[in-house]
Structure 1
């Protein structure tokens, strides 16, 4: 009887560990304390929820750039894809006072602080992007081979979550890539990505571009 109980307990523990690893194991890996891997199904639902919230904001908020809110049916997006969420190695600038003068879509200029270069691999391609800082916001302004085709020709933006940022690494989630307001309303002036931030890969992630009036 004791032997049977022992094997029953072992079996229950094995089932527990298999279930835990299957559903939660993807969330345990880390790099410099950053969450490196996540559960794809849970992640996909979170991305869709945030997109729904943004569409609601654009449809109803007075600060939305959408002019014809009554006919607005939501933005167009690539399907959530966790493979476009990468951990990048940061190469900070030794000189913390370096600035970047960014051209705006209306011909004016804006000055950003150069924060670091983010180096990572995406779908087998080596990539390098300049991360800039304006006040307390860390951003990447970029173009890729979808720009002007499936996505906005003026480029897209990613804002880095300070919680997913350390001195040496950062999580870059291209599923959060978004179009600037000037893509939907010419009254807005938007910063243009620096020349060095043209990626050699197609970023089929984040917002697509369909003109809205």
Structure 2
């Protein structure tokens, strides 16, 4: 039953991130995260990898772990603003920008908007794009936090843990049947972040090209 397999997928992801938050060794947590996700992508009925490609699936491609890309971000209130954020499908999703997180990375100060999902009971959403997008990483953005789906790296003394080694591609990068919100315009960093997940193994997938074409037509909201 599709609903029960989806429930099992979500349960496993929530449990995985709970393990990450408990692990004091960030690189060990990252390696475990990769191992579990590879197994889920290879074998689970809810894998975003199309079923006909799972037998040949060799694992998700990643940059090497880089401890310098694990930072904490101060959370600063921002003017609340409801936005319709573009997705890989035809319809946008409604989010509320409620804060910004500021952090230092590569010797520079940066900031990213924090969004709250207006539907599904709500959840913190942080998707970003950087200077590797379109060449080394998925051009429409990578996810770092998506708490409604379990992706939650926790806090340290009131600051958000932002470990870019845990950045991952949205499901729509593997199969266009999935509809994913994309990186909003305020969350585009001018530096390359060579940490986290790279392009899917086939290079820029048909789905990625489709998303880029759609963004060119509709613009980034």
- Is structure 2 residue 205 aligned with structure 1 residue 205? no
Structure 2 unmatched runs, 5+: 1-22, 146-150, 206-221
Aligned ranges 1:22-101 → 2 under 5 Å: 42-67=25-50, 68-93=53-78, 95=80, 98-101=81-84
Give the SS at the match of 2:26: helix
Q: Is the 8 A contact 2:60 2:201 kept in 1?
A: no
Q: Is the 8 A contact 2:83 2:97 kept in 1?
A: yes
Moved >4 Å (runs of 4+) = none
> Which residue does 1:188 correspond to in 2?
178
Aligned ranges 1:98-109 → 2 under 5 Å: 98-109=81-92
Could you say what the CA RMSD is over the residues aligned between the two structures, in angstroms? 2.1
> Which residue does 1:139 correspond to in 2?
125
The Cα shift of 1:191 comes to 0.9
Which of 102, 106, 109 aligns to 1:123? It is: 106
- Radius of gyration: which is bigger? 1
Q: Is the 8 A contact 2:61 2:201 kept in 1?
A: no
Deviations 1:162-207 (A, max 9, x none): 74177x5211111110000110001111112111111021111110
> Which residue does 2:5 correspond to in 1?
none
Mapped partners of 1:44, 1:63: distance in 2: 27
> Which residue does 1:148 correspond to in 2?
134
> Which residue does 1:15 correspond to in 2?
none
Q: Is the 8 A contact 1:55 1:75 kept in 2?
A: yes
Q: Is the 8 A contact 1:125 1:200 kept in 2?
A: no
* TM-score, normalising length: structure 2: 0.71
Give the SS at the match of 2:96: strand
Deviations 1:132-185 (A, max 9, x none): 12234312111000011110011101116374177x521111111000011000
Structure 1 unmatched runs, 5+: 1-37
> Which residue does 2:8 correspond to in 1?
none
* TM-score, normalising length: structure 1: 0.74
Give the SS at the match of 2:28: helix
